[in-house]
Amino acid sequence: MSRRKLDYLGVSAFCESMAMMVQAGIQTDEAVSLLQSSGQTGGVLEEGLTVMKEQLDQGSGLAEAMRRSGIFPDYALQMIEAGEASGRLEDVLFRLSRYYADQKTISEKLRNAVTYPAAMLVLIIAVLAVMLVMVLPSFTEVYDKLTGSLSASVYSYVRWAYAFCWIALIVMVLLAAGLLIGLLLWTHGRRGQVESLLRRSKLCASILESMGMFRFTSALATFLASGEMQDEAVLKSIPMTACAPVEEKLRKCLARMEEGHSIAQAAYDEQLFEPVYGRMLLAGERSGNMERVLQRLTRLLEENCSNLVDRLVGVVDPLLSGVLMVTVGLSLLSVMLPLIGMINAVV
């Protein structure tokens, strides 16, 4: 069994290929054989398809064969298992393909939102280091050779330049270290601690909650499409959010559902969505278009996630660029002022 997992794009491509072949009337074992024969050897998917083909030939279902391969996420396995049980495998596969494609888009945006500030921090640290090691000592050496009150009266500017550069360098190094520690904690199972710190920022908290709601609505729509009851679908969708504040709201909604309320009414009463979205969900439930409204909400929440990430990048980009320009500009101005003063005195 392969221990490596398919990435979002790989899962999306697999689900879409399987969905199209199931739609064409091809049996799942034949579909896996076709995918296996059309792929290259040695990859994660190819290793998984080999295991899946063996399991399907032994009479296992698609979900069980995928589980045995060990390359698919648990969410996809749960969805496909529910789709097989309800006879809506084709619909579930198409939804999973879209879901993981959206996850890929959002994850790339988040990666870019982290990569750019990291690159800017490295650039600022490098520039400050050059200023402290090469530029400022060169000016200091020149001014030290000068004697008399002519240079002494303006030499304090250079000391200010040193102090400013050192302070800026220490701050940037601390920010870079914090970013590195956060990434290490995130990738080593300490995601909750990182998110608790990020939620102190209003914009970051909005991004995390919007992503959690996006995952929830997507999972809920897929579970309902697979034939699950509303309360069971909500219960299974809660772990998909990966966001504590959203999970807390959803458990309150689930408690109201246990009192006899529908998911739309419970979500509206607990203000799970914005009022306009809550009314959409109520209207969709009363008109029998619950799944369609959930799909629409999923698209809107995805767009909201993208907009919030773009806004975060839009804030960090000019901020770091401004820090770089101000630091270099003030430092150069500080070392040039003595020279300007000496020229004016001579003239």
Both 233 and 338 in one domain: the answer is yes
301: in domain: yes
249: in domain: yes
Both 48 and 156 in one domain: the answer is no
CA angle 34, 40, 44 (to 5 degrees): 95
Both 254 and 303 in one domain: the answer is yes
What share of residues in the chain are helix, strand, coil (percent, to 5)?
85, 0, 15
Distance between CA atoms of residues 208 and 195, nearest Å:
8
What pLDDT score was predicted for residue 149?
Answer: 45
Distance between CA atoms of residues 305 and 294, nearest Å:
16
Structure tokens at 250: 């959803």
Both 120 and 64 in one domain: the answer is no
87: in domain: no
111: in domain: yes
The rounded Cα 13 to chain-centroid distance in angstroms is 20
Question: Are residues 266 and 253 in contact, defined by beta-carbon separation less than 8 angstroms?
Answer: yes
Question: Are residues 227 and 82 in contact, defined by beta-carbon separation less than 8 angstroms?
Answer: yes
Q: Print the domain residue range for 279.
A: 102-347
Among 19, 50, 72, identify where a domain stops.
72
What is the count of structural domains for the chain?
2
Per-residue pLDDT of the chain (347 residues; tens, 9 = 90+): 445 778 888 888 888 888 888 888 888 888 888 887 765 555 777 888 888 888 888 888 888 888 888 888 888 888 888 778 777 788 888 888 888 888 788 777 777 777 777 888 888 888 888 888 887 777 777 666 664 444 455 566 677 777 878 888 888 888 888 878 877 776 666 766 666 777 777 777 788 888 888 888 878 887 777 677 788 888 888 887 777 888 888 888 888 888 888 888 888 888 888 888 888 888 888 887 887 888 888 888 878 887 887 787 777 777 777 777 777 777 777 667 666 666 655 55
Among 22, 57, 72, identify where a domain stops.
72
Q: Report the CATH number that the domain containing residue 308 is assigned in CATH.
A: 1.20.81.30
Length of the chain: 347
